[in-house]
Amino acid sequence: MDKIEKMSGRTAVVRLDNETATLSTEFGLPAQKAELKKKIDLLEELRKITLGIDGLIVPRVLDRNETRGEYIVDRARGWNLTEGQGFKQGKLRGFFDIPLDLKLRGLNTYLNMIGRINSAGYAFRDHKSDSVFIDQDGRITVVDADGMVKQSNPWVTDQHVRNGIHDVTKGFFHRGMDKLSLGEDPELLIPAGANTIISNLDRADSATTASQRIVRWMNNSYDPSRNYPYNPNIHRDDIWKPGMTNFQYDIAEANFYLKGALGSEGFKYYSQFLERSGEK
């Protein structure tokens, strides 16, 4: 498939095939070539730093021509974490069909990646939800590292509310869709324990700590109310079942609201609009 897709103001995906993406400058100017080379170098640095993180894919640079300003990299699989570009209903439903436990796996992988680059003295000054993809198995691919910079206090930079990290971490569950197009409050699609932790990242001393708390909440060995404004004793009678752990209830509640969203008139009409618009 030949198609121009903007990555930024100065680089573009000029050709996609089943396995690779070819990146090239928009106009071939020397400054644009230098900027694209910097992006590729940072992507390779991110790949090197994060080697061995289970469930994380950073695309390999398979071929390069710096004279022409052209690079061939692995193509990302799955869905990115923003719906802003527009997708047909099938693609929207494919994202929402990923089970919540696999979305939580993807979230934890992302937080572990941040913890790893922080340990190496790097932070993302700009978290981009359109640069993070999740596939049907919960694996994530990060395709853009140009916001990665050296910092003396990297976690302070990463967890800042204006840095885009909430767009990414919450995008694992609602893909940045709003109530009008989703037919439901998007916050309700995030399991409450996880949502409490990622909404208050400043209460964790590192991304790794935040990830560990999510894992322990999933294993019923951590009550988020110890550190966060989370009340595990508030339940809906039509969802709660005797013997449920906090994690089991939070998952059941999020799935309840997800089912409502996918069956809503708002989601139906928005999906039909995308289909009529011909967005791919």
Mean pLDDT of 180-201: 96
pLDDT band at 270 (very low <50, low <70, confident <90, very high): confident
Q: What is the mean pLDDT of the chain?
A: 90
Question: What pLDDT score does 6 carry?
Answer: 40
Q: Is the pLDDT of residue 187 over 90?
A: yes
Question: What pLDDT score does 7 carry?
Answer: 46
Helix boundaries (H) for the chain: 30-49, 89-96, 100-119, 154-158, 165-174, 179-182, 192-199, 207-218, 246-262, 265-277
User: Contact 76/7 with Cβ under 8 angstroms?
Assistant: no
Residue 224: DSSP 8-state: G
Q: Is the pLDDT of residue 165 over 90?
A: yes
How do 140-142 and 56-57 pair as beta strands?
A: parallel
By mean pLDDT, which of 29-38, 116-125, 136-145, 214-223 is the weakest? 29-38
CA terminus-to-terminus distance, the chain: 12
Mean pLDDT of 88-99: 75
pLDDT band at 93 (very low <50, low <70, confident <90, very high): confident
Question: What pLDDT score does 76 carry?
Answer: 93
- The domains found in the chain, sorted by start residue, are 5-74 (3.30.200), 79-277 (1.10.510)
Pick from 68-72, 83-87, 90-94, 153-157 the range whose average pLDDT is largest.
153-157
User: Contact 60/96 with Cβ under 8 angstroms?
Assistant: no
Helix or strand or coil: residue 201?
Answer: helix
Q: Is the pLDDT of residue 85 over 80?
A: no
Q: Is the pLDDT of residue 48 over 60?
A: yes
Helix or strand or coil: residue 11?
Answer: strand
**CA angle 46-48-50, nearest 5°?**
65
Mean pLDDT of 78-82: 91
Q: Which of 19, 185, 170 is nearest to 106 (CA)?
A: 170
